[in-house]
């Protein structure tokens, strides 16, 4: 233990990698009946992690290179699989984000989950989630990353299906798990491809070797594409994006955590983690760019029609993740990570605010929240507006800076279609987020036919009570902190950029053309157009939802087919259903059933018949006559000796 | 006559004849007699090695003595089992003792 | 000249002893009459005692006669007298069983012979010359005392076991 205590950095890293797990174990084993104790254990663990993460960030801020502690876990001839911690600028930044968000969410949950029968279980899973994510962030090798990646998936499954007695919740949990698993298969195959083609799973060595073109190009492309499948699953990119909106079934703080810093961020984080490796394969980058763009646009359209407050933010998460993937795929390492950072802040903020509304009004429908008097909850309303402004990319807020960085990178791409797509996405983002804000701020009584259960008397009552209770403040404080972060984070762009890129000269190559084109006159044109588009989106939303005589129906109401298309998520779930029904159930299952009946059962029966028959044939050997047995034994022994001697 | 191989072959012949008897005889007492032959073949080997190879001539003789002791015990037990079996089956034919038939 | 004659005589006597042993062994295995078998066994064991003489151990030869010929063979004769009547005609041997056993035994013989031939036997570097019974007794009571005790125990158990087996079987049958 002495060497351990002598190295505070290692101690802090180990604290992040163990404490929440211990907290989970203790809660699940000992303190399930004592909810206060459970919450205290979980919170103290995450606080320790937060302190450790900040300490690490402060200590290693000026470290010349990555600090790596690793122990060989499996060594087999040329293959080395390490286990340990990799503390470099990226992982420390992400570690801090995760710790901050997880901490705030856990504090918030004190209020949100108060009185829930599964309170202790909730905190245990939260700890598991935080542990898995933090250990994943500081993983030095792809295999460790993969293991904790899957643990993150497990934790999110447990939390999405937290209300397991609800059919839709357990279904959503399963859906999330299975769909991300589809991507993870690709990820794992990608790891195997790296192992076969390169032989080392260390992230640093992979990046260096790919940058120095020491790995065969097709190996890089193949494994990048396969690993990108993991990103597609985890970060809800195009073909696998429908699990994320369904993940709303979990408690709202879980959604906040899931959407900002942990589950979905894991995919983008992993992509930036091995960014030089990706960057070495232009083909994989092109695929990623296309998928990111499609995701971004699709999700934005979906967000424009739903009335579920959480689903709006869910779709916006998907589309912002698409933005990040676009940024990374067009070479903007910093832009992607920066947007990941700011997005973590404001998306957590948005979800936590929505959580307050949902907690107060017991509904997810934004129209009912508006009618119930959502505007009277000043703090969350203001904070949510701040978050929405950041999401739309309006000037002084963090989203503005990161979005501008991404636009700059996209502008550097010779093909301008990506830039156009990005600008379109910005417009839609502003539109749908302020559609939500205005709908809550300026409710209309006569919008919907189903008026009877519109305004609940007890809602107002509950809200009056909650306004002053400790529960409310436990929820309000994290929200305000996050709003503050959202307000100021953008001004640290230069510092962050310097911090992230200062050390890694390897990263500059891909960065150069993206950033270089961003400055100059074109930069300002771009900046202006992006901001004006965002403002245009807001004005558009005001015109349709905000102003006094607005119908609050949206222009899409006039195109019912398009609206249906958007509302049904472009029929992707139907397509999957069809695929499962016709291809899996009718095709594969049928084949498998036949295989099971004919081949496997038949084979087993055949073996049985053969055994019985041969037993009948061979039973003459068991005549019960000692001497025949002896004859065989002696002959066998003699033959054996002869075989070895001659 | 002063070669080790001669004794070894004589021992092997005794052993194999004994083996043959054990495998072939139906009379249990005959099998016991054959086993005695096998033991003697082994004894002969011990003594031959003792005479031609061993560093200490007393050891081989001691081992042979022990084998004789074992043979005596074996004969006592074997004969008593044969007598018990005879009382039970009214025969000392091994082919009648086939309770293990599959 | 005399030594040559003596050597020749000793040599011839050796082969006579070997022949006696083999003859006894054949007699002990093949005849279906159990009394012949016992007689053959006695002859064979006496031959082996002779071989022991040639191998330089007078003591062991005496022991062979005493224990095998004197004790075991007599015990077998007693067993024969207690078992089924001899005047009954023994059934014919079956050829397949004979062939099978001969094959297996032959195979085993080939194996042993092959081992004897193939191995390059090497005498120990330093070989003692102390063949006296005193040494044997000394060893039995010092270095090999444990084995000695165990053998005694085995004999004791065998005696008790034999008594019990026959005693219980008598109770069972009657």
What CATH code is carried by the domain that includes residue B16? 1.10.287.3510
Cα torsion angle, A136, A406, A89, A488, sign: negative
Residue C103 included in any domain: no
d(CA B35, nearest CA chain C) in Å? 10
The pLDDT score that the predictor gives to residue A552 is 65
Q: What is the average pLDDT score of chain B?
A: 87
Max avg pLDDT among A10-24, A151-165, A306-320, B7-21: B7-21
For residue C51, pLDDT over 50 is answered with yes
The pLDDT score that the predictor gives to residue A509 is 41
ipTM > 0.95 for the complex: no
Query: Where is A73: in which H helix or E strand?
Result: strand A67-76
Tokens coding A508: 């500059």
* Residue pair B29/B92 in contact by the 8 Å Cβ criterion: yes
- The domain total for chain B is 1
Torsion of Cα atoms, A625 then A630 then A633 then A639, to 10°: -120
Poorest-confidence range of A1-10, A635-644, B61-70? A1-10
Q: Cα–Cα distance between A441 and A618 in angstroms, integer? A: 88
Q: What is the average pLDDT score of chain A?
A: 79
Half-sphere exposure of B41 (CA within 13 A, CB side): 24
Is the domain of C77 the same as that of C142? Answer: no
Q: Which of A614, A625, A633 to probe the B interface (max B CBs under 10 A)?
A: A625
Q: Is C104 on the interface with A (CB under 8 A)?
A: yes
What residue numbers bound the domain in which C145 lies? 132-173
Residue B29 included in any domain: yes
Span A525-544, average pLDDT: 80
Residue B69 included in any domain: yes
Residue C29 included in any domain: yes
Q: Cα–Cα distance between C111 and A637 in angstroms, integer? A: 9
Chain C adjacent subunits, 3+ CB pairs under 8 A: A, B
Which residue of chain C has the CA closest to B91? Answer: C84
Any long-range contacts for C153-159 (C-beta under 8 Å, 24+ apart)? C154/B69, C154/B70, C154/B73, C155/B69, C155/B72, C155/B73, C157/B73, C158/B72, C158/B73, C158/B74, C158/B76, C158/B77, C159/B76
Is the domain of C5 the same as that of C71? Answer: yes
Residue C96 included in any domain: no
Could you say which of C62, C87, C112 is where a domain stops?
Answer: C87
Note the pLDDT tens digit of each residue in A476-519: 788 888 888 877 777 777 777 777 776 444 444 444 444 444 45
**Given an 8 Å threshold on Cβ–Cβ distance, is A631 in contact with B23?**
yes
What residue numbers bound the domain in which B64 lies? 3-96
Q: Cα–Cα distance between A97 and A134 in angstroms, integer? A: 10
**Given an 8 Å threshold on Cβ–Cβ distance, is A619 in contact with B102?**
yes
Note the pLDDT tens digit of each residue in B75-91: 989 888 888 888 877 77
Q: In the structure, what pLDDT confidence band is assigned to residue A142 with cuts at 50, 70 and 90?
A: confident
For residue C32, pLDDT over 70 is answered with yes
Chain A, residues 382-421, CB within 8 A of chain C, namely none
**Given an 8 Å threshold on Cβ–Cβ distance, is C29 in contact with B50?**
no
Is the domain of C1 the same as that of C82? Answer: yes
User: Which positions in chain A touch C110 (Cβ < 8 Å)?
Assistant: 638, 642
Is the domain of C70 the same as that of C152? Answer: no
Chains A–B, number of C-beta pairs less than 8 Å apart:
30
Neighbours of A452 (CB within 10 A): 5
**Given an 8 Å threshold on Cβ–Cβ distance, is B76 in contact with C158?**
yes
* Residue pair A277/A535 in contact by the 8 Å Cβ criterion: no
Which residue of chain B has the CA closest to C98? Answer: B24
Q: In the structure, what pLDDT confidence band is assigned to residue B101 with cuts at 50, 70 and 90?
A: low
Poorest-confidence range of A171-180, A417-426, A446-455? A446-455
pTM over 0.80: no
Q: Is B79 on the interface with A (CB under 8 A)?
A: no
Residue C110 included in any domain: no
Which of B8, B20, B37 minimises the CB distance to C101? B20
Which residue of chain C has the CA closest to A637? Answer: C108
- The domain total for chain C is 2
Query: Where is A79: in which H helix or E strand?
Result: strand A79-87
Residue B28 included in any domain: yes
d(CA C111, nearest CA chain B) in Å? 10
Residue (of C164, C170, C78, C155) closest to B32 by Cα position: C78
Q: Kindly state the DSSP code that residue C93 receives in the 8-state scheme.
A: P
The pLDDT score that the predictor gives to residue A447 is 46
User: Which positions in chain A touch B100 (Cβ < 8 Å)?
Assistant: 622, 624, 626
Max avg pLDDT among A198-207, A413-422, C13-22: C13-22
Which residue of chain C has the CA closest to B80? Answer: C162
Chain B, residues 22-61, CB within 8 A of chain A, namely 22-24
Residue B30 included in any domain: yes
Residue (of C21, C74, C67) closest to C44 by Cα position: C21
Residue C164 included in any domain: yes
Residue B74 included in any domain: yes
**Given an 8 Å threshold on Cβ–Cβ distance, is B70 in contact with C154?**
yes
Residue B102 included in any domain: no
């Amino acid at each position: 233990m002495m060497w351990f205590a002598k190295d505070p950095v290692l101690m802090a890293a180990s604290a992040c990698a163990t404490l929440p797990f211990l907290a989970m174990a203790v809660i699940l084993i000992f303190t399930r009946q004592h909810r206060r104790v459970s919450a205290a254990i979980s919170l103290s663990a995450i606080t320790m992690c937060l302190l450790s993460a900040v300490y690490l960030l402060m200590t290693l801020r000026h470290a010349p290179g990555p600090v790596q502690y690793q122990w060989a876990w499996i060594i087999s001839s040329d293959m080395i699989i390490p286990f340990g911690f990799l503390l470099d600028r990226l992982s420390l930044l992400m570690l801090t984000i995760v710790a901050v968000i997880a901490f705030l969410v856990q504090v918030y949950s004190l209020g949100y989950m108060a009185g829930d029968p599964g309170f202790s279980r909730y905190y245990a899973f939260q700890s598991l989630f935080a542990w898995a994510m933090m250990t994943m962030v500081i993983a030095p090798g792809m295999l460790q990353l993969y293991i904790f990646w899957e643990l993150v998936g497990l934790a999110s499954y447990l939390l999405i299906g937290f209300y397991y007695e609800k059919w839709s919740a357990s279904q959503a949990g399963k859906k999330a798990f299975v769909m991300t698993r589809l991507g993870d298969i690709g990820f794992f195959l990608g790891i195997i491809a790296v192992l076969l083609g390169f032989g080392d799973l260390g992230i640093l060595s992979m990046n260096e070797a790919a940058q120095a073109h020491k790995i065969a190009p097709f190996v890089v492309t193949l494994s990048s594409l396969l690993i990108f499948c993991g990103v597609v699953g985890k970060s809800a990119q195009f073909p696998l994006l429908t699990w994320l909106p369904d993940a709303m079934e979990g408690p709202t703080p879980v959604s906040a955590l899931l959407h900002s810093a942990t589950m979905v961020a894991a995919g983008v984080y992993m992509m930036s983690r091995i960014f030089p490796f990706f960057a070495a394969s232009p083909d994989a980058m092109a695929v990623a760019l296309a998928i990111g763009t499609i995701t971004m646009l699709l999700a934005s359209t979906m967000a424009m029609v739903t009335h579920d407050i959480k689903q709006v933010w869910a779709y916006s998460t998907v589309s912002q993740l698409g933005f990040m993937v676009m940024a990374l795929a067009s070479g903007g390492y910093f832009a992607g990570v920066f947007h990941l950072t700011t997005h973590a802040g404001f998306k957590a903020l948005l979800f936590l605010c929505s959580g307050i509304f949902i907690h107060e009004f017991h509904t997810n429908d934004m129209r009912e929240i508006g009618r119930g008097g959502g505007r009277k909850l000043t703090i969350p309303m203001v904070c949510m507006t701040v978050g929405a402004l950041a999401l739309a990319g309006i000037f002084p807020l963090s989203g503005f800076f990161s979005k501008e960085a991404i636009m700059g990178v996209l502008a550097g791409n010779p093909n301008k279609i990506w830039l156009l797509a990005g600008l379109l996405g910005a417009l839609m983002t502003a539109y749908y987020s302020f559609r939500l804000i205005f709908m809550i701020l300026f409710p209309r009584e006569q919008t919907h036919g189903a008026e009877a259960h519109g305004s609940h008397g007890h809602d107002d009552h509950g809200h009056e009570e909650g306004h002053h209770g400790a529960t409310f403040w436990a929820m309000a404080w994290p929200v305000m902190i996050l709003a503050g972060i959202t307000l100021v984070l953008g001004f640290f762009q230069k510092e962050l950029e310097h911090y992230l890129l200062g050390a890694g000269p390897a990263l500059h190559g891909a960065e150069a053309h993206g950033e270089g084109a961003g400055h100059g006159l074109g930069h300002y044109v771009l900046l202006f157009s992006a901001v004006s588009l965002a403002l245009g989106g807001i004005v558009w939303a005001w015109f349709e939802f905000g102003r006094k005589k607005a119908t609050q129906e949206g222009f899409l109401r006039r195109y019912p087919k398009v609206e249906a298309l958007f509302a049904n998520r472009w029929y992707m779930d139907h397509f999957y259903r069809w695929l499962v029904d016709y291809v899996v159930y009718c095709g594969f299952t049928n084949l498998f059933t036949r295989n099971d009946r004919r081949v496997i059962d038949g084979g087993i029966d055949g073996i049985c018949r053969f055994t019985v028959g041969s037993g009948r044939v061979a039973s003459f050997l068991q005549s019960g006559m000692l001497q025949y047995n002896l004859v065989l034994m002696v002959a066998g022994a003699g033959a054996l000796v002869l075989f070895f001697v001659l | 006559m002063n070669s080790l191989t001669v004794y070894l072959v004589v021992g092997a012949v005794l052993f194999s004849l004994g083996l043959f008897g054990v495998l072939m005889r139906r009379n249990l007492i005959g099998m016991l007699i054959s086993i005695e032959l096998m033991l003697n073949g082994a004894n002969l080997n011990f003594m031959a090695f003792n005479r031609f190879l061993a560093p200490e001539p007393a050891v081989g003789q001691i081992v042979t003595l022990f084998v004789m002791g074992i043979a005596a015990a074996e004969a006592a037990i074997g004969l008593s089992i044969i007598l018990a079996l005879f009382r039970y089956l009214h025969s000392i034919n091994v082919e009648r003792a086939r309770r293990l038939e599959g | 000249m005399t030594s040559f004659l003596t050597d020749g005589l000793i040599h011839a006597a050796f082969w006579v002893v070997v022949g006696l042993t083999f003859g006894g062994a054949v007699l002990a295995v093949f005849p279906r009459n159990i009394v012949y078998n016992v007689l053959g066994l006695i002859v064979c064991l006496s031959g082996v005692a002779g071989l022991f003489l040639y191998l330089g151990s007078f003591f062991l030869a005496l022991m062979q006669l005493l224990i095998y010929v004197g004790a075991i063979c007599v015990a077998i004769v007693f067993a024969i007298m207690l078992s089924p009547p001899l005047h009954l005609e023994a059934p014919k041997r079956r050829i397949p069983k004979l062939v099978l056993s001969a094959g297996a035994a032959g195979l085993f013989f080939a194996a042993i012979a092959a081992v004897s031939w193939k191995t390059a036997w090497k005498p120990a570097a330093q070989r003692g010359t102390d063949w006296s019974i005193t040494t044997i007794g000394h060893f039995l009571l010092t270095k090999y005392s444990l084995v000695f005790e165990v053998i005694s125990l085995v004999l004791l158990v065998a005696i008790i076991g034999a008594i019990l087996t026959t005693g219980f079987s008598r109770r069972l049958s009657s």
